[in-house]
Chains A and B, each alone.
Chain A
Amino acid sequence: MQVTLKIFRYNPETDKKPHYETYKVEAEPTDRVLDLLEKVKGEQDGTLTFRRSCAHGVCGSDAMRINGMNRLACKVLVKDLGTDHITIEPLLGLPTVKDLVVDMEPFFEHYRSVKPFFINNDPPPQKERLQSPEERARFDDTTKCILCAACTTSCPSFWLDGQYVGPAAIVNAHRFIFDSRDQGAEERLKILADQFGVFRCHTIFNCTLACPREIQITKAIGEVRKAIATGRLD
């Protein structure tokens, strides 16, 4: 089948402002959108610029807006879109560097701000710390995050004010707050109770819909809010 791609283009070295360019490519219904981008770059226009690496939805490089939705280009097939016209644009809310590449630094800065690392100051045992399968299951969902930024850049609260830590940072705090082995919940909850923390979430669910790992993000944010409100982690 022939597919028409309408792609957001911006080269800061030559363009005063962004524009769209249209490409027609031959595609199989089972092709990934990333395959089409590679095809355009390889066969028609080598200047088209985007990030990609693993090509199967685990590295998080190629989050972008595909027909208005935040998706990984490697995890959406042509047939999933139900149309032969595909519009591809960079993520919203982060500065565009070139074409589909955005500056990820503000995103990672928020991520780093929630202490996204294991805290336990007791001397470790000789072998593993014990954790029951139930305790392990408590935070399983939020361990899946690949930091692709699809959630945070789909959030109207983040668009409105980039100082909001955003869903991805909260997901990564949740992963430790609810880990039975971790001792840093209090300091993380204090950070997230801040004016740019969890209470900026208006349960719009865009993040949950955008997540390519199907993490129940709004639920995780709700659990963190509840922990702040009640002071308990149950």
Chain B
Amino acid sequence: MKTHQYDVVVVGAGGAGLMAALYASRRARTAVISKLYPTRSHTGAAQGGIGAALGNMEEDHPEWHTYDTVKGSDYLGDQDAIEFMCYQAPEIVYELEHMGLPFSRTPEGLIAQRPFGGHTNNVTGKPVRRACYAADRTGHMILQTLYQQGIKHGLTFFDEFQMLDLIMVNGRAAGVVALEIATGEIHIFHAKAVILATGGWGRVWEITSNAFTLSGDGAAIVLRKGLPLQDMEFYQFHPTGIYKLGILITEGVRGEGGVLINDKGERFMDRYAPTVKDLASRDVVSRAIYIEIREGRGINGQRYVYLDVRPETVNKYAALDGRTRPDGSPYVVTAEELLAKLPDIIDFCRTYLGIDPVTEPIPVQPTAHYAMGGIPTNIKAEVLADEKGTVVPGLYAAGETACVSVHGANRLGTNSLLDIVVFGKQAGIHAAEYAQGADFEPLPADAADFARSQLEAIRNSKGNERIADIAAEMKRVMMDHVGVFRTEEGMQQALEKIRELKARFKHLHIDDRGKIFNTELLTAWELSNLLDLAEVTTVSALARKESRGAHSREDYPKRDDQNWLKHTLAWMRENGQIELRYKPVVITKYQPKERVY
């Protein structure tokens, strides 16, 4: 067993982890451990843009961005954190540009911006161009740019090292246990501060935009360490995933004028969001699609609708909406312009559907996309241990795995890329500062024992249960009952199923008992994380007897601010029981009111 010592250890090398490492390494000896090569991280799959009120195309203000985010969160987001993020946004986008990020440009040479769901001019209520983009590859460019900076500044990377456990000593973070995938060897990373930037857990659901590797490792580990997870019932379904595959089709398609169409040829968002229509918040649009499908207006009665971005359709509805270009001329697009602005979307459709979106509409359905909940943190990205806001010394979290909470009950498009860079930076700065004033906690002799026993239990398992079967059953029941719409009865059924699967997980059939690059072992271990997170999600959702943002209960269809304007915290106790507690939402300027788009 090898032991390494660093002041700060960052786990995960997507946008949040890389930004954290770039900042931490300015003042502290820092290492990044990542189960993937950094450029494989799922930040690279983000498409449409990063939100910042630069005002390059038209009037915009960080204050409007703040209000839109609060409203988008269905008033569950903490307003101090949201304000901080939205006011940091312009500066951090310029910082990315100064790192060389190749944004698309306006004719004047400024960073180009496009409309996105829920981003509005607060005076007129109309969509505002706030999403700073690089074609439909904004996440790819952010990930590449940050990795390039990592090389430039000589960051230390441990690529293809899987974090297995967090080492806590005297209530403080003291390091990480990790598996070197290539050798199967356990390593200990002794640290003064640990930053978790391990991403989301979309693989809990059947239809998802998420990578195979998004199994919520950091969140599940924190849960097992006796720390709480926050607002786990709030999981975002993106309205437009490719039918059956779940591959993301960016909201930027609707930003460029694409519209959703049902089997009757109706632009049905007219009925659900009369002002911003197809550019309403994601929760609103996903529910609308589900209702259309349920009422028999899916295409050919199937479980999908069309996303139509053919130029003739775009131009027809742009004229009806009175949409104009920044110079005031009518908004008219050509196939060539769409190809230039949405090249990857068009490539995905050609590859996976065999259709060309400029001549045929795209079949889409809502796809599990983003965890609003996660490891509770404050604005400094410090991890919180309870409902009183007690800080866990030396432990930080940022990005999708964290819950600051800036997204509340529903995240606005473009705010995830913003979140990862803003709070990744905070995590890096504050972890380094903390490490400078702290000593290494002595490592316990048994630091790696739990991780090793977990792995050995799987490796030596002699049952008949296939990993793939357990995963498939979990995904199906979560999709059916803990998805866009939820009921008490359905969720009870899901909870029973998850508990049954957790029991069956103890009797896995394992073929690969080797050490070198044992991906079967890791897939099983990742599944154990997904099962824990699925259970916590369901228990948190069952308890919340209201509908808010992405948590939409048919048996409690109204938002209930009287009883439920509060964050959920969920602990997994030693006996496996889940305990829920609550803490108030931070409200500064914006009192909750009815949410209409």
Question: In this assembly, does A52 line the interface, its C-beta being within 8 Å of a C-beta of chain B?
Answer: yes
User: Given A47-B520, A53-B42, A59-B44, do A42 and B468 touch, yes or no (CB 8 Å)?
Assistant: yes
Judging by beta carbons under 8 Å apart, are A42 and B98 in contact? Answer: no
Which chain B residues border A140 with CB–CB below 8 Å? 102, 135
Distance in angstroms from A38 CB to nearest chain B CB is: 8
Please encode chain B, from 499 to 518, with 1 for each CB lying within 8 Å of some chain A CB and 0 for all others.
Answer: 00000000001111011111
Contact A54:B516 (CB < 8 A) given known A128-B94, A128-B103: no
Closest to A144 in B: B137
**Are the CB atoms of A58 and B37 closer together than 8 Å?**
no
Task: Report yes or no: B39 in contact with A147, Cβ–Cβ below 8 A.
Answer: yes
Interface string of A162-203 (1 = CB under 8 A from B): 000000000000001001011000000000000000000000
- In the complex, are the beta carbons of B45 and A43 less than 8 A apart? no
Report the minimum CB–CB distance from A30 to chain B (whole Å).
8
Query: For residues 45 through 92 of chain A, which have their beta carbon under 8 Å from a beta carbon of chain B?
Result: 45-47, 49-50, 52-61, 75, 77
A97 sits at the interface (CB 8 A): yes
- Near A by CB (< 8 A), chain B positions 93-139 give 93-94, 97-100, 102-111, 134-135, 137
Is B40 an interface position by the 8 A CB rule?
Answer: yes
Does A17 lie at the interface of the complex (its beta carbon under 8 Å from any beta carbon of B)? no
Contacts of B134 in A (CB 8 A): 143
Least CB distance from B488 to A in Å reads 33
Mask, B367-390, CB within 8 Å of A = 1, is: 000000000000000000000000
Contact mask B506-543 → A, CB, 8 Å, 1/0?
A: 00011110111111100000000000000000000000
Q: Which residue of A lies closest to B471 (CB)?
A: A42
Q: How far is the CB of A214 from chain B (nearest CB, A)?
A: 8
Decide yes or no whether A205 CB sits under 8 A from chain B. Answer: no
Q: How far is the CA of A205 from the CA of B386 in the complex (A)?
A: 59
Q: Is there an interface contact between B516 and A179, defined as CB atoms closer than 8 Å?
A: no
Nearest B residue to A52, CB-CB? B212
Q: CB distance A59 to B39 under 8 Å? A: yes
Chain A residue numbers with a CB within 8 Å of B36 are 53, 59, 61
Flag whether B429 is at the interface (Cβ < 8 A).
no
Contacts of A116 in B (CB 8 A): 148, 151
| Chain B, Cβ-Cβ closest to A35 | B245
Asked whether any CB of chain B lies closer than 8 Å to the CB of A19, the reply is: no
Q: How far is the CA of A137 from the CA of B102 in the complex (A)?
A: 10
Q: Is B152 an interface residue (CB 8 A)?
A: yes
**Docked CA distance A176–B182 (Å):** 32
* Option from B54, B140, B145, B245 in Cβ contact (under 8 Å) with A58: B140
Least CB distance from B521 to A in Å reads 9
Is B39 a contact of A133 with CB atoms below 8 Å? no
Cβ A13 vs Cβ B40 within 8 A:
no
Q: Would A124 and B98 count as touching, CB distance under 8 A?
A: yes
Q: A49-B517, A53-B213, A128-B97 are in contact. Are A42 and B466 (CB under 8 A)?
A: yes
Other-chain contact of A60, B39, B93, B98, B348 (Cβ < 8 Å): B39
Contact with A along B457-470 (1 / 0, CB 8 A): 00000000011110
Q: Is A132 an interface residue (CB 8 A)?
A: yes
In angstroms, Cα B520 to Cα A47, docked, is 7
B237 CB to nearest chain A CB (Å):
18
Chain A residues with Cβ under 8 A from B135's Cβ?
140
- Bitwise, A98-129 to B at CB < 8 A (1) or not (0) is 10010010001000100111101000101111
B511's nearest neighbour on chain A, judged by CB, is A46
**Per-position 1/0 for B395-421, Cβ under 8 A of A:** 000000000000000000000000000
For A182, the chain B residues whose CB sits under 8 A away are 100
Interface string of B178-191 (1 = CB under 8 A from A): 00001000000000
Given known contacts A77-B351, A128-B103, A146-B140, is B520 in contact with A41 (CB within 8 Å)? yes
Interface contact A129-B102, CB-CB below 8 Å: no
Q: Is A160 an interface residue (CB 8 A)?
A: no
| Complex partner residue of B212 from A43, A53, A104, A131, CB under 8 angstroms | A53
Q: What DSSP secondary structure best describes chain A's contact surface?
A: loop
Does B42 contact A54, Cβ atoms closer than 8 Å? Answer: yes
* CB <8 Å contact, B40 and A131: no
B97–A97 CB distance below 8 A? no
For B37, B93, B509, B510, which residue has the most chain A Cβ atoms within 10 angstroms?
Answer: B37
Known contacts A59-B42, A59-B44, A104-B37; decide if A136 and B102 are in contact (CB<8 Å).
yes
Which residue of the partner chain, among B105, B110, B348, B516, contacts A13 with CB atoms under 8 Å? B516
Contact between chains at A98 and B40 (CB < 8 Å):
no
A222 in the interface (beta carbon within 8 A): no
Chain B residue contacts of A129, Cβ below 8 A: 97-98
A92→B203 CA distance, assembly (Å)? 32
Residues of A near B94 (CB, < 8 A) are 124, 126-128
Q: Is the CB of B109 within 8 A of A131?
A: yes
Q: For residue A117, which residues in chain B have a CB less than 8 angstroms away from its CB?
A: 100, 148-149, 151-152
Please tell me if the beta carbons of A54 and B182 are within 8 angstroms of each other in the complex: no
Total number of residue pairs linking A and B with CB closer than 8 Å:
159
Minimum Cβ distance to chain A for residue B186 (Å)? 17
Asked whether, in the complex, the Cβ of B515 is within 8 Å of the Cβ of A13, the reply is yes
Which one of B182, B211, B469, B518 has the greatest number of beta carbons of chain A within 10 Å? B211
Cβ contacts under 8 Å, A75 to chain B: 351
Partner of B100, one of A43, A45, A49, A118: A118
Known: A130-B109, A182-B100. A12 touches B516 (CB 8 A): yes
Check: B141 CB closer than 8 A to any chain A CB: yes
Q: Which residues of A contact B467 (CB under 8 A)?
A: 42, 46
Pick from B45, B110, B518: contact of A56, CB below 8 A. B45
A179 touches B100 (CB 8 A): yes
Complex Cα distance A124/B96, Å?
11
B352 to chain A: which residues have CB within 8 Å?
30, 32, 56, 77
The complex places the Cα of A38 from the Cα of B45 at a distance, in Å, of: 21
Does B344 interact with chain A (Cβ within 8 Å)?
A: yes
Q: Give the one of A11, A58, A104 with max B CB within 10 A.
A: A58
**Of B107, B140, B469, which is within 8 A of A133 by CB?**
B107
Neighbouring B residues of A13 by C-beta, 8 Å: 514-516
Closest CB in chain A relative to B471 CB, distance in Å: 8
Do A57 and B351 contact each other (CB < 8 Å), given the known contacts A11-B516, A117-B149? yes
**Once the chains bind, are A97 and B110 in contact (CB under 8 Å)?**
no
Which B residues are CB-close (under 8 A) to A130? 108-110
Please give, as numbers and ranges, the residues of chain B lying within 8 Å of A120 by CB-CB distance. Answer: 100
| B247 within 8 A of partner (CB) | yes
Measured between beta carbons, the chain A residues less than 8 angstroms from B468 are 38, 41-43
Nearest CB to that of B134 among chain A residues? A143
User: Given the interface contacts A42-B467, A42-B468, does A131 sit within 8 Å of B511 by beta carbon?
Assistant: no
Interface 1/0s, chain B 32-51, versus A by CB < 8 A? 00001101111011000000
Q: Which residues of the other chain, A, contact B212 by a CB distance below 8 angstroms?
A: 52-55
Query: With A and B bound together, what is the CA distance between A45 and B107 in angstroms?
Result: 55
Asked, given contacts A42-B466, A53-B213, whether A59 binds B40 with beta carbons under 8 Å apart, the answer is: yes
User: Can you list 5 A-B contacts (CB < 8 A)?
Assistant: A53-B211, A60-B39, A128-B110, A140-B135, A146-B140
Known: A57-B348, A117-B151. 16 other contacts (CB 8 A): A46-B511, A49-B512, A54-B42, A57-B347, A59-B39, A75-B351, A77-B352, A98-B517, A116-B148, A118-B152, A126-B94, A128-B111, A130-B108, A136-B102, A146-B39, A147-B37
The 4 closest A-B pairs by CB, nearest first: A118-B100, A42-B468, A46-B511, A130-B109
